Chain A
Amino acid sequence: MMPSAARKSTAKIIVMISTLLLTAPGFGQNTIEGDWMLYLYGPGIGNPGSNEAKPSIEGKLSLNQAGRGWTGHVEGGPVSVDTKGNQIEILVDSRDLAGFRFFRRLQGEFTGQAMMGSFTIEGYTEQSEPGGSWIAKRFEPPQPSQTRGPVDITGIWTPAPGVDFRKYSMDLTDEAASWFENYLAHYDHPNVRCVSPGIVAMVAWGAYPFEILDSMGRLTFLYEVDSEVRRIYMNGKAPPEYYPPSAMGFSNGNWNGGTLTIETQLLEGNIRDFRGEPVSEGARMHEQYQLSEDGNTLSAVITLLDPKNYKQPPIRRRKWVRNSATEIYPYECDPDSFYRQMYNEDKLDMYFGRSQRRLIE
């Protein structure tokens, strides 16, 4: 039998080693590496009318070990991640509906297959949120809808709030970060001068309805904003020779069960969102649409594939409700008031001196 002093020493060593292992950043954290789906719950989260029964916001969380710590991304944008033992804290920046940046601080516990906890809001938001609870489950690639396709998605669709994280910062490449550093949204954003911001920004835009028509081997999306028209060829049609890059690009779609997948190519250089991060000419967009069982809600997951500008593909999630009580209203845009304001403020020279900012390649 081991002498008492030796037992004590051995026990001390075991305790020390255990303590070191449990508190070391690397220990136990391998279990969280990988992709997760993150769900936020709470009254008013992302939508003043939401309740706690359904997740109000969801997004893909990716965790990768980096040295003794972690790098994290939500919807393709960087987040800070700290762990201690089985405790985890994730800080996610989002923008509110008015464009203000704020943070959700998620704190909780994890096991190898699940995380859960509560979150609080930090920073100013135009529409305040009280915080709530969150869970994360291991990410599984979305399965095609079991509904037999194609399904009828024709009609007019009005944006519904919620679902999207509205991730504020994205993981820009050095080239994109350098370009974006001097971006002045009010002067450089195409829509302020009545120029289309392109489908990548518009498809996630919350304000306006759009209509879907189905005819002649194509789906036609009529967007109220900017009166844009988008054709999605369902018959494998290839773009004509010399078809130029454009704001809407060239889209092909197909049904897999009840899931509509759209691939868009030939996008022109443009911007991703209100903030104005660049989308390069040659970028592609991947969308997956699903219709709810009752046929009244259309959901989409939208992924931008643009490795020139983004180290991780930015992801948006949108939802629309069927609205037969409206029509697509006319939309003509006149930039006169935009230029007049700069004239009144003696900023026209500054504006035209920045013309290169409005050529994105």
Chain B
Amino acid sequence: MVDHIWKTGLFMLLLLTSGAVYGHHSFAVEFTAQRTITLTGTVAEVWFRNPHVRYYVEVVNADKQIENWDVRTSSPSLLVRKGWTKNTIRVGDNIVIKGHPGREGRKLLSVISIRLPDGSILGQGPGPTEYDTTPESQP
């Protein structure tokens, strides 16, 4: 119970304090910042590596077909400073992701926030940006 409260508190802190990050190339190249969408799906693979952390997520569409989405966040070293580690989201987790979709209908999503199975929310600010303005948080 204490652990759950601690985790929830940590994630709420993340939501409140997370500056958006996007360290390596222009967000504008691949994503449409003007649009946001929300997906619900099951994590099929966790790729917690540079240059960008990716979650491969299976989403059932309106036609009951499975779509494979490439969900991207920031780089590991910027995320782990906030306590967002490779174990935070695991294969099999059912998550709700809000983000900016890829251009030209590509099934890419740049994360704004993720709701975890326990209801806590991981935030990445209003959208991906080049640097993190968040004060250092010590794990």
Residues of A within 8 A of B (CB): 47-49, 95-101, 124, 126-127, 158-159, 161, 185-186, 189, 191-192, 194, 205-208, 224-225, 274-275, 323, 325-326, 329-338, 341, 345
Q: B21–A207 contact, CB under 8 A?
A: yes
Q: Which of A49, A224, A335 contacts B77 (CB 8 A)?
A: A224
Bits for B20-46, please: 1 = Cβ < 8 Å to A, else 0.
111111111110011000000000000
Q: B128–A98 contact, CB under 8 A?
A: yes
A-B contact pairs, 11 of them (CB 8 A): A97-B131, A98-B128, A126-B27, A126-B126, A126-B128, A127-B127, A159-B131, A194-B51, A207-B78, A224-B77, A274-B25
Q: Which residues of B contact A96 (CB under 8 A)?
A: 129
Q: Which residues of B contact A192 (CB under 8 A)?
A: 24-25, 51
Q: How far is the CB of B110 from chain A (nearest CB, A)?
A: 9
- Asked if B132 CB lies within 8 Å of chain A CBs, one says yes
Q: Which of B24, B27, B33, B136 contacts A191 (CB 8 A)?
A: B24
Nearest 5 CB-CB pairs, A to B? A99-B26, A206-B131, A97-B129, A99-B28, A207-B23
Q: How far is the CB of B119 from chain A (nearest CB, A)?
A: 28
State the main secondary structure of chain A at its contact with B: loop
Q: How far is the CB of B86 from chain A (nearest CB, A)?
A: 13
Query: Given A186-B29, A275-B26, A330-B77, are A97 and B130 neighbors across the interface (CB < 8 Å)?
Result: yes
Cα of A312 to Cα of B81 in the assembled complex, Å: 39
Q: B33–A124 contact, CB under 8 A?
A: yes
With an 8 Å Cβ cutoff, the count of chain B residues facing the other chain is 36
Query: Given A192-B51, A207-B23, are A161 and B131 neighbors across the interface (CB < 8 Å)?
Result: yes
* A-contacting residues, B71-128, CB 8 Å: 75, 77-78, 80-81, 106, 126-128
Q: Which residues of B contact A337 (CB under 8 A)?
A: 47, 49, 52, 54, 70
Q: How far is the CB of A290 from chain B (nearest CB, A)?
A: 21
| Contacts A189-B25, A323-B136, A345-B106 known; 16 new A-B pairs at CB < 8 A | A48-B133, A96-B129, A97-B130, A98-B129, A99-B27, A99-B29, A126-B33, A186-B30, A194-B50, A205-B130, A275-B26, A329-B77, A333-B50, A336-B47, A336-B49, A337-B47
Q: Which of A159, A326, A332 contacts B81 (CB 8 A)?
A: A326
Q: B50–A331 contact, CB under 8 A?
A: yes
Residue of chain A at shortest CB distance from B30: A186
Residue of chain A at shortest CB distance from B49: A334
Of the listed residues B20, B47, B133, the one surrounded by the most CB atoms of chain A closer than 10 A to its CB is B133
Q: B50–A332 contact, CB under 8 A?
A: yes
Q: Which residues of B contact A207 (CB under 8 A)?
A: 21-23, 75, 78, 130-132
Cα of A274 to Cα of B75 in the assembled complex, Å: 16
Cα of A354 to Cα of B23 in the assembled complex, Å: 24
Q: Which residues of B contact A98 (CB under 8 A)?
A: 22, 26-28, 33, 127-130
Q: A49–B78 contact, CB under 8 A?
A: no
Q: A191–B25 contact, CB under 8 A?
A: yes
Cα of A125 to Cα of B78 in the assembled complex, Å: 23
